[in-house]
C-alpha cells in the first residue's frame, strides 16, 4: 500500500489545539495561517507520496554503498533530493534573508513528519542540515552565515554534526579530535569521528561538517571543547567549492535499519585515509573557543525534536500498512457471528485492539509535538518577554518527552504492525519488518531514552523544584474541569482518567524534585518511567482537548465521520494508555529499591 499523509489530522491539531491563528499573529508569521498551512501540507503530501515514498523499500533493499572512499546513495535518492531542494523544502523554516521561507515550526513539524513517513533514510539528510543551519544562525559570524547558509538552504550543500568518537560515545568530555591554530586564523583538525549521518554521499556539491574538537592547550573535559566548520571541499575566494579538504570517509556502517542512510566513519587529517598523519583538515572556528558544546546542543535540541517527529512518522506509516493488511487478509469467522464465513481479520476484536493502540499512540504523540512546536514559535517571536519565557520553559520541558516517548512508542507500534501481519510480518517482502528495524535507532541517536530522561530529571524538574511541571499540571486541571462539566460519558470517563494521570504525574514530580540530591540512585532508577509517565499524561491531555473539540464540531454537524473517529480514539487512549500512568507512578515512587537491590556480582 502506498503512503497517504494524514493531512486532515495535522490541520485539525494545528487549528484546534496548537492555535495556528495565534501563531500567524506573531511578528514575522503574518502569512502563515491556516490557509497557508493547508496549501503547504497538501503540496508536501503530494511530493512525498509521489517521489520520496516509493524509494523507501528500494533503499532498504539497495542501501548506500562504499567503494574507494566514495559513497553512492540508493538509486533515485540523488534525483529525489534535487527535487526536494528545488521545491524549497530544505528552507521551509529558515530565514527569508538566507533564501528560506521563514515559516513557523508548527508547519515545519508537520512537513517533517510527512517526509519521514515517506522515507526516513532519505529524510535524515535534510534533518542534519537543518541542525547545522541552526547552529550557524546562532553562533556564526555574518560572513560565515552568508557563505554557508544560503547554499545549505537551497540544497546545493548539506550539513553534518560530528560528535562521537570511538572512545567517546555519549560522554563528550572524552573527545580527543585535535584542532591546531594556524597563522592565518584557521585551524587544522586531526582525529576520527564515527556515526556521522550522511558524512559522505553523492547528493550535493559540498558537505559542511560541524566538528567538535579540542584546541591544543584547551582545558580537559567538556569546558575545553570547541566547534568548527570543516567543509568537504575548501572554498575559493568567491565561495565556490575548491580543493578537496583532508577529511575522508574510511567506511560506512552495516546497520539493522535505516540502511539507505550512509553512516560514515570520517578521518580528519588522514591524508586520504592513510592514518592520522596527513596535512590536517582545514577548518574555521564557529563562535568562541571552548563553547562548542553549548553550540552543539542547539543542533541537538533541534534534532531531538526532529527525531521525535520521526517516531510519529514511522508509527503512522506502520499503522497505515497494518490497517491495509487487516482489511485484506481473510482468516476465521468473527466471534460475534456477524459474518458467517471467514472474514478480513479487521473484524476480530484483538486485531481492532492492536490497530486502536497503534492509532491512539500515534495521534497522541502527534498532538503533543504540534502543541510543543507552537510553543517554540511563541517563545521566539512573541512580543511580550514574559510570554516568550513561559513558552520557552514549556517547550524545553516537552522536548525530552517528544523525543523519548514518541520514539519508544514507535517501536511498540511497529512491533504491533508486524503482529497484525502475523507470519507474513516476519517475512521481509511485506515491508512490515522494515519499520520495526528502522524504529530501533530512534531511541538511541541524538541521545538515548535514558539521556532524555536524565535531562527531564536534572535540568527540567529538579533544577527548578518542579515549578514548570506543576504549572503544566495546573493547565491540565483546567482541562479536567472542562471535561467534568460536560455530560457525555466519553468526557466524564476522560476526566477521571486525566485526573488520575495528573495526580500520578504530580506525585512523581514531587519525588524527583525532593530526592534528586539526597537519593540520586533512587530517582534515576525511575528516570525513564518518569519520562514515560510525563509523556503519557501530556498526550492524554491533548487527546482530552481534542475530544471536547470533536464533540462540539459533531454537534454542529461538521465532518461527522472524522469527529466520531477522533472521539473514539481519545476515549481509547484514556481507557487503554493513559490509565497506565498510575502504575508508572508506583514504580517511580515505590519501586526504586528493587532496581538496585541485586548485588553487582549477582548479575
Sign of dihedral through CA atoms 121, 125, 130, 131? positive
CA-CA distances (angstroms) from residue 186 to 149, 283, 284, 285, 389? 19, 6, 5, 7, 37
Please give the C-alpha separations between residue 331 and each of 338, 344, 487, in angstroms, as whole numbers: 14, 6, 40
What are the C-alpha distances in Å from 179 to residues 191, 225, 267, 268? 9, 10, 13, 10
Residue that the C-alpha cell 553512516 belongs to:
263
Interatomic CA distance for residues 468 and 542, integer angstroms: 18
Tell me the DSSP string of 105-132.
HHHHHHHHHHHHHH-HHHHHHHHHHHHH
Question: What would the grid cell of residue 591 be?
Answer: 519501586
Do 100 and 38 meet the contact criterion of CB atoms below 8 Å apart? Answer: no
DSSP for 280-349?
-EEEEE-SSTT-HHHHHHHHHHHHHHHHHHHHHHHHHHHHHHHHHHHHH-B-S--TT-SSSS--BGGGSH
C-beta separation of 368 from 401 below 8 A? yes
Give the separation between CA 32 and CA 45, rounded to whole angstroms.
18
User: Which DSSP string corresponds to 359-374?
Assistant: HHHHHHHHHHHHHHHH
C-alpha cell at position 436 = 520495526
3-state secondary structure of 17: coil
Residue 179's SS3 state is strand
Instruction: Catalytic residue, from 363, 446, 480, 551: name it.
Output: 446
Spatial CA neighbour of 268 closest among 217, 207, 185: 207
CA–CA separation, 132 and 151 (whole Å): 12
Torsion of CA 476, 477, 483, 486, to 10 degrees: -150
486 class by beta-carbon count within 10 Å (0-12 exposed, 13-18 middle, 19+ buried) = middle
**Residue 446: active-site member:** yes
Q: Which residues pair with 283 in a beta bridge?
A: 187
Cα separation, 466 vs 460, whole angstroms: 8
The set of catalytic residues is: 446
Amino acid at each position: 500500500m502506498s503512503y497517504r499523509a494524514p493531512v486532515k489530522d495535522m490541520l485539525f491539531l494545528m487549528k484546534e489545539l496548537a492555535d495556528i491563528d495565534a501563531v500567524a499573529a506573531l511578528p514575522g508569521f503574518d502569512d502563515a495561517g491556516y490557509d497557508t498551512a493547508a496549501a503547504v501540507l497538501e503540496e508536501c503530501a503530494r511530493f512525498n507520496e509521489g517521489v520520496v515514498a516509493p524509494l523507501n523499500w528500494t533503499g532498504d533493499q539497495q542501501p548506500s554503498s562504499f567503494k574507494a572512499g566514495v559513497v553512492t546513495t540508493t538509486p533515485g535518492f540523488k534525483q529525489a533530493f534535487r527535487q526536494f531542494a528545488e521545491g524549497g523544502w530544505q528552507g521551509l523554516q529558515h530565514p527569508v534573508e538566507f533564501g528560506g521561507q521563514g515559516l513557523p515550526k508548527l508547519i515545519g513539524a508537520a512537513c517533517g513528519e510527512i517526509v519521514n513517513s515517506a522515507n526516513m533514510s532519505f529524510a535524515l539528510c535534510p534533518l542534519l542540515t537543518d541542525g547545522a543551519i541552526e547552529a550557524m544562525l546562532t553562533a556564526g559570524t555574518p560572513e560565515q552565515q552568508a557563505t554557508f547558509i544560503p547554499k545549505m538552504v537551497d540544497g546545493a550543500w548539506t550539513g553534518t554534526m560530528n560528535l562521537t568518537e570511538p572512545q567517546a560515545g555519549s560522554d563528550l568530555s572524552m573527545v580527543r579530535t585535535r584542532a591546531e591554530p594556524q597563522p592565518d586564523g584557521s585551524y587544522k583538525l586531526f582525529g576520527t569521528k564515527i556515526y556521522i549521518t550522511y558524512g559522505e554521499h553523492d547528493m550535493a556539491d559540498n558537505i559542511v561538517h560541524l566538528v567538535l574538537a579540542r584546541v591544543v592547550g584547551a582545558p580537559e573535559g567538556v569546558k575545553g571543547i570547541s566547534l568548527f566548520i570543516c567543509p568537504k571541499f575548501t572554498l575559493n575566494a568567491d565561495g565556490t567549492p575548491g580543493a578537496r579538504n583532508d577529511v575522508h570517509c574510511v567506511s560506512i556502517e552495516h546497520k539493522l535499519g535505516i540502511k539507505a542512510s550512509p553512516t560514515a566513519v570520517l578521518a580528519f587529517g588522514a591524508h586520504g585515509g592513510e592514518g592520522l598523519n596527513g596535512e590536517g583538515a582545514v577548518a574555521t572556528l564557529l563562535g568562541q573557543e571552548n563553547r562548542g558544546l553549548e553550540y552543539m546542543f542547539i543542533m541537538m535540541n533541534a534534532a531531538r525534536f526532529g527525531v521525535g517527529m520521526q517516531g510519529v512518522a514511522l508509527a503512522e506509516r506502520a499503522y497505515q500498512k497494518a490497517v491495509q493488511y487487516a482489511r485484506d487478509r481473510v482468516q476465521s469467522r468473527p466471534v460475534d457471528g456477524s459474518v458467517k464465513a471467514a472474514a478480513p481479520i479487521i473484524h476480530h476484536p484483538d486485531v481492532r485492539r492492536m490497530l486502536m493502540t497503534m492509532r491512539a499512540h500515534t495521534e497522541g504523540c502527534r498532538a503533543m509535538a504540534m502543541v510543543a512546536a507552537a510553543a517554540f514559535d511563541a517563545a521566539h517571536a512573541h512580543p511580550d518577554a514574559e510570554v516568550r519565557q513561559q513558552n520557552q520553559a514549556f517547550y524545553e520541558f516537552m522536548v525530552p518527552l517528544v523525543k523519548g516517548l514518541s520514539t519508544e512508542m514507535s517501536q511498540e507500534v511497529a512491533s504491533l504492525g508486524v503482529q497484525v501481519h502475523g507470519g507474513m510480518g516476519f517475512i521481509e517482502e511485506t515491508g512490515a519488518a522494515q519499520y520495526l528495524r528502522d524504529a530501533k535507532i530512534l531511541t538511541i541517536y541524538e541521545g538515548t531514552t535514558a539521556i532524555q530522561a536524565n535531562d527531564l530529571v536534572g535540568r527540567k524538574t529538579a533544577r527548578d523544584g518542579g515549578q514548570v511541571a506543576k504549572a503544566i499540571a495546573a493547565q491540565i486541571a483546567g482541562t479536567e474541569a472542562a471535561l467534568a462539566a460536560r455530560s457525555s460519558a466519553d468526557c466524564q470517563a476522560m476526566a477521571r482518567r486525566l485526573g488520575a494521570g495528573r495526580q500520578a504525574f504530580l506525585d512523581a514530580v514531587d519525588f524527583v524534585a525532593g530526592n534528586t540530591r539526597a537519593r540520586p540512585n533512587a530517582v534515576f532508577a525511575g528516570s525513564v518511567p518518569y519520562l514515560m509517565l510525563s509523556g503519557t499524561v501530556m498526550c492524554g491531555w491533548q487527546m482530552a482537548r481534542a475530544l471536547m473539540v470533536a464533540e462540539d464540531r459533531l454537534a454542529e454537524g461538521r465532518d461527522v465521520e472524522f469527529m466520531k473517529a477522533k472521539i473514539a480514539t481519545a476515549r481509547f487512549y484514556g481507557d487503554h494508555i493513559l490509565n497506565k500512568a498510575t502504575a508508572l507512578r508506583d514504580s517511580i515512587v515505590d519501586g526504586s529499591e528493587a532496581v538496585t537491590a541485586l548485588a553487582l556480582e549477582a548479575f
